Amino acid sequence: MEEEFEISESQSLPSFDVKAFLIRVLSYWKLFVLFIGLGIFIVYQQNIRKQQSYRLGTQISVEEESNPLFTSTTSLTFNWGGVTGKVQTIMTSLRSRSIHEKVVDNLEFYITYLKQARFRKDDIYKASPIRINLSPNTSQLINHPVKITFLEDNKYLLSLNFESNLAKTQNYDSKKTANIDVPLGEFKEQYTLGDTISLPYINGVIYLAEDRKPVVNDEYFIQFSDFDAVVAKYRNKLVIDNPRSSPTLNLSMVDVNKGKIVDYLNETVSVLSNDQLNRKNQFVTNTIAFIDSQLDRVKTQLTLNADSLNNYKQKNRIFDLTNESVAINAKLSSLETSKDEVNRKLAYYSSLENYLKTSNSFTEVPAPSISGIDEGNILSNIAKINALSVQKSKYGATVRKDATIFSDLNREIEGLKLVLLENINSARGELKREQQSLNNKIAIEDGKIRKLPKAQQKLFDIERQYALSEKTYNVFLAKRGEADIIKSASVSDIVVIDPAKDTGATPIDLRLSSRYLFAVIGGILPPLILAFLLTFLDNKLHNPQVLEGLSNIPLLGVVGKNSLENNLVVHLRPKSTIAEGFRSIRSSLQYFYKKHNLEGSKTVMVTSSVSGEGKTFCSINIATVFAMSGKKAILVGLDLRKPKIFGDFEIKNEIGVVNYLIGQKSIDEVIQVTKVENLDVITSGPIPPNPSELLMNDNMDEMMDYLKQNYDYIVLDTPPIGLVADALELTEYADATVYVVRQDYTKKGMLNLINTKYSKGEIENLSFVYNGYNQKGKYGYGYGYGYGYGYGYGSYGNGYNDDGPAKKTIINRIKSFFS
């Protein structure tokens, strides 16, 4: 039976009652006031502590500026992918750690100047009157504010408070950190502005900023931060936007100090522009270095040749060659110059071949034009392999070494290397043939020289060597000047459209006054959600109309909420609304008996679904209201498992129905007279081990026959029909059955069992009594009845749970608030 009830109850799904929801919301006005007040208080506390944030930005454009030192086929700034590819490379560089390290280092953003505000230390940046120059290669205390208090005569007090024996320091030159031992407690030392501070944890000179004067007793703080942490902070703050994949980049940053945003953005663009220009001029720079090395070598040789020529002329007193010698010298000098050019080309090819075979980076190759290389395929492939190598070095600082892009670049570079090596072998073969031809021509001219006098031959040879060195030197010198001009004329591919500037930026945070609106909304939502959930999950009866909608069983009457500790409310307060409710039930029962032509003694059985619904309360008062009408009535306690009715009548339960049913006592011995006129009671008596079997024996029939002969009305107080089958066994003795439900207590699913039995005809003449009705009541718990006993859902053999009178505990008070 118990299992059947539980199953049937679970089949009832909760439904949403809009009216109940609105009533519940209104009943929670205290919660709304509490949460809204709490939200406003929290927002107020946040507002007075919050430092507003600002967003500033700068706009740059990435242009395609070629280096004019080379032709279109030998451009040193060969752009592998056009402007779009360069924009992506610039964006990658801007996200790199290395560029932010340079910016933080240049701006010294690892030093923060603070001033104590009401609730925090504010970063005042350039508004601070003090600055500090750090001593080179020294360590500073990080993440610990150093307090500076101005005194008179340009003096200041430096103070620190150490809460631990260990402190962390960092050397901003090497970026190394270390832990050092420091004394516990407060450290104080007086200095003069401009003095050198030399401590294990602070090293530098504190001085006044330009046009600033110290104010006595003003306090400021200097805080050093971990370099890598500062770099990571600003690296994450920088936002890069490339609208519609155009050459334009928008850089922006959010911070509480507008001055820092401006300086950081502008310095970032400056560092980026310089890096891009240096990378762009890398080939030119390498070429200049190569020319300088060649100039040093040729200059030394030229000097030696000049000294040798002068010495020979003075020693042999020969200052001019003959006309024939001049002609031979001119032709031979031309051949020697051509041979020198071929040798330079061969030397360049040998150096280039060795470089390609042994090096992984190809950004240091000098310009081929310096050595007179004009072979188109070689020039083009050198430019390509150089561009790929530059691109690879750019990705090295920002992309993981195992990224796919490195594999693709290496594959392209290796392919170009193979092609370039083949081009070198082919060009070298041509040069060697040309070299052999020049050697043959030079040998012919040498034969002509040997016919001249010995002194003329020697002078001729010395002058020829000097002329060759002079020509080579002039060639390199001209190339050096050309490279210097081009390098100085080269511009960065980064063009600043709009530099960062504070033009009256407004806070991007929500306006402080607007935050109160969200506080109000936030205060409304929790009680509203709570009311919705409780209403949605609520499956209890809250008014008689709901009961009538859930069952076809007629409603006999409605009884109000009992506020007395005693269940004898009709007897104690006969003029109360509850007494009137029971009189109405009496009238309805009498009408029912008359309608069914019942004469003589009438029997009414009172039951319910579970404990706590007021079954005993209704039984006592129905019997009382019959007795008060002048009729002889008797209340029989047939709840043998948990006898209860004797307490309200102040009688004993030592003997009762059980004693009569087992044959120990006669019927007269178990009937007890109450203080209510015309009302007698038969209590349950001792709890038996077999209550159901006792109620089914013949003695029960004899007792009911006796009662019908001696009483006008018999009221049977039976166990809950939803828990045990005893009440069903007693329906044969009842002319009418009253089924008690209680407001805000009985669950809707509990009605499924009685509805089923009523529709099958297992229980006839059945009516509901709606107990605990409170028209102004709130949904929830809190309706305590004086009888205070309840049935548990556990083993019925353990008896019913005795809830007892409701106590004013903290939990009950909380429940009462929500009820």
- pLDDT digits over 265-306, tens only? 999 999 988 887 777 666 666 677 777 776 677 667 667 766
The per-residue pLDDT for 464 is 61
| Cβ density class 638-657: b for 16+ within 10 Å, e for less | bbbbbbbbbbbbebebebbb
Residue 82 has pLDDT above 50, yes or no: no
Beta bridge partners of 528: none
Question: What are 359-412's pLDDT values in tens digits?
Answer: 666 555 556 655 667 677 777 777 777 777 766 666 655 555 556 776 777 777
The per-residue pLDDT for 284 is 67
Residue 99, domain member (yes or no): yes
Residues present in the chain in total: 819
Residue 429, domain member (yes or no): yes
Residue after which a domain boundary falls, among 477, 505, 537: 537
The per-residue pLDDT for 425 is 81
Question: What are 104-159's pLDDT values in tens digits?
Answer: 999 999 999 999 888 888 899 988 999 999 999 999 999 999 999 999 988 999 99
* Ramachandran class of 347: left when φ > 0, alpha when ψ lies in -120 to 50, beta otherwise: alpha
Residue 357, domain member (yes or no): yes
Supply 630's token pair. Answer: 């002048």
Considering only residues 392 and 538, tell me which one the structure prediction assigns the higher pLDDT. Answer: 538
Side chain identity, residue 251? L
Residue 515, domain member (yes or no): no
Find the distance separating the first CA and the last CA of the chain, reported in whole Å: 32
Of 216, 39, 45, 225, which Cα lies nearest the Cα of 118?
A: 45
Residue 754, domain member (yes or no): yes
45 plus 78 within the same structural domain: no
The listed range with the strongest mean pLDDT (126-140, 267-281, 344-358, 528-542) is 126-140
Considering only residues 598 and 800, tell me which one the structure prediction assigns the higher pLDDT. Answer: 598
The per-residue pLDDT for 652 is 86
272 by DSSP, 3-state: which? Answer: helix
230 plus 330 within the same structural domain: no
Residue 775 has pLDDT above 60, yes or no: yes
The per-residue pLDDT for 802 is 36
SS3 breakdown of the chain: % helix, strand, coil, rounded to 5?
50, 15, 35
What DSSP letter does each residue of 684-751 carry, written as one string? --SPPS-HHHHHTSHHHHHHHHHHHHH-SEEEEE---TTT-SHHHHHGGG-SEEEEEEETTTSBGGGH
Residue 507 has pLDDT above 60, yes or no: yes
435 plus 571 within the same structural domain: no
Supply 189's token pair. Answer: 């030392």
Classify residue 817 as exposed, middle or buried by CB count within 10 Å of its CB (0-12, 13-18, 19+): middle
229 plus 316 within the same structural domain: no
Considering only residues 73 and 737, tell me which one the structure prediction assigns the higher pLDDT. Answer: 737
Residue that has been written with the tokens 């040193």 in this structure:
76
485 plus 461 within the same structural domain: yes
Residue 13, domain member (yes or no): no
CB 129 within 8 A of CB 208: yes
CB 349 within 8 A of CB 435: no
Side chain identity, residue 50? K
475 plus 572 within the same structural domain: no
Average pLDDT value for residue range 695-723: 88
Cite the DSSP H helix spans in 203-257.
Answer: 227-237
Question: What are 557-573's pLDDT values in tens digits?
Answer: 999 888 888 888 888 88
Average pLDDT value for residue range 437-462: 62
Question: What are 30-46's pLDDT values in tens digits?
Answer: 999 999 999 888 888 87
759 plus 804 within the same structural domain: yes
Q: Structural domain of residue 772, as residue ranges?
A: 544-818
Of 120, 116, 164, which Cα lies nearest the Cα of 141?
A: 164
As a whole-number percent, the residues of the chain with pLDDT over 70 amount to: 75
Residue 500, domain member (yes or no): no
For the chain, the farthest-separated pair of C-alpha atoms sits apart, in whole angstroms, at 176
181 plus 239 within the same structural domain: yes
Residue 68 has pLDDT above 50, yes or no: no
Q: What's the structural domain count of the chain?
A: 4
Classify residue 5 as exposed, middle or buried by CB count within 10 Å of its CB (0-12, 13-18, 19+): buried
Residue after which a domain boundary falls, among 489, 505, 528: 489
**Distance between CA 770 and CA 783 in Å, rounded?**
14
Average pLDDT value for residue range 799-803: 37
Residue after which a domain boundary falls, among 219, 242, 266: 266
668 plus 528 within the same structural domain: no
Mean pLDDT across the chain, nearest whole number?
78
Question: What are 192-245's pLDDT values in tens digits?
Answer: 999 999 999 899 999 999 888 888 999 999 999 999 999 999 999 999 988 877
Average pLDDT value for residue range 610-618: 88
The secondary element (H helix, E strand) that includes residue 459 is helix 454-489
436 plus 530 within the same structural domain: no
419 plus 525 within the same structural domain: no
Of 350, 352, 347, which Cα lies nearest the Cα of 366?
A: 352
For the beta sheet containing 177-181, the strands, ordered from the edge strand earlier in sequence to the opposite edge, are 139-141, 166-171, 177-181
* Crossing angle (nearest 10°) for helices 258-280 and 282-316: 50
Residue 5, domain member (yes or no): no
775 plus 626 within the same structural domain: yes
Residue 259 has pLDDT above 70, yes or no: yes
**Distance between CA 54 and CA 508 in Å, rounded?**
6
